[in-house]
Each structure stands twice: as C-alpha cells, then as structure tokens.
C-alpha cells in the first residue's frame, strides 16, 4: 500500500515554456503533499508543502509564481514550472504521507531538462 505515482518521469522542454508535473496518491488520501528538488549527488531540498483545498506553503527562497502548486483533490497535487529556464533543470520529486508522523512515500521523480 501507500503508492505515490509521479508523471512524467522525464521531460525535455524549451526555455520559456511551462511544464506540469503530477503527483498522485494511488491507494490513500493525502491532505498534504511535499515537493522536493534534488540536484545531482545532493540532498532533497523542500520546495513547498501542498495543502488540499488551500494555498501551498513555500519554503524561503522558492518563487511561488514560478513554481505553481495546485492540490485540487485528496489524491492529486501538481507542480507547474512556469517560463522554464536551463537553471530549472533538476530532479523534482513529490511525497505524501497517510497522516501525522507517518513515513513519507515518494513518487519516482521527474527529471526536467530545459534546453
């Protein structure tokens, strides 16, 4: 149980375009999902907390107008990278938990390459 599906797994886009990444909890409801960014051989950096039915909470230094998060239902959160630039190229990974202090269940991640 507790499977998180993330799509797409890889995407290449041109500079200036927008990319949407979906994160779904397949067999549980997640009122809260988390979006992380990971650079090669580095740790996971928390970008924002996605809250169902309300605005996302962004970490310091993360541009909320650039990284749009929508948590429209209890099983789906989306991250849209707007007007992407090459420096946005990274591995984006979402996670969700069933509640409280339960473990984080991660999606397989999305490798974004902006050319």
Partner 1 sequence: GQQVMQIPQYQHVQEGEDFTTYCNSSTTLSNIQWYKQRPGGHPVFLIQLVKSGEVKKQKRLTFQFGEAKKNSSLHITATQTTDVGTYFCAATTSGTYKYIFGTGTRLKVLA
- Distance separating alpha carbons of residues 17 and 30, to the nearest angstrom: 29
Size of the site for partner 1 (CB under 8 A): 22
67 binds partner 1 (CB under 8 A): no
34 binds partner 1 (CB under 8 A): yes
Residues whose CB is less than 8 angstroms from the CB of residue 115 and which lie 6 or more positions away in sequence, other chains included: 12, 13, 14, 15, 86
Binding residue (CB under 8 A) for partner 1 from 21, 24, 30, 36: 36
Q: Which residues bind partner 1 (CB under 8 A)?
A: 32, 34, 36, 41-46, 49, 59-60, 93, 95, 101, 103-109
């Amino acid at each position: 149980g507790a499977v998180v599906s993330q799509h797409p797994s890889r995407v290449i886009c041109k500079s200036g375009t927008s990319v949407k990444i979906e994160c779904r909890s397949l067999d549980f409801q997640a009122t809260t999902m988390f979006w992380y960014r990971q650079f090669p051989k580095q740790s996971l950096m928390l970008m924002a907390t996605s809250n169902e039915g309300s605005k996302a909470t962004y970490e310091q230094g993360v541009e909320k107008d650039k990284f749009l998060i929508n948590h429209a239902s209890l099983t789906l959160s989306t991250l849209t990278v707007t007007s992407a630039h090459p420096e946005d190229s990274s591995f984006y990974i979402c996670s969700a938990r069933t509640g409280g202090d339960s473990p984080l269940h991660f999606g397989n991640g999305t490798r974004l390459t902006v050319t």
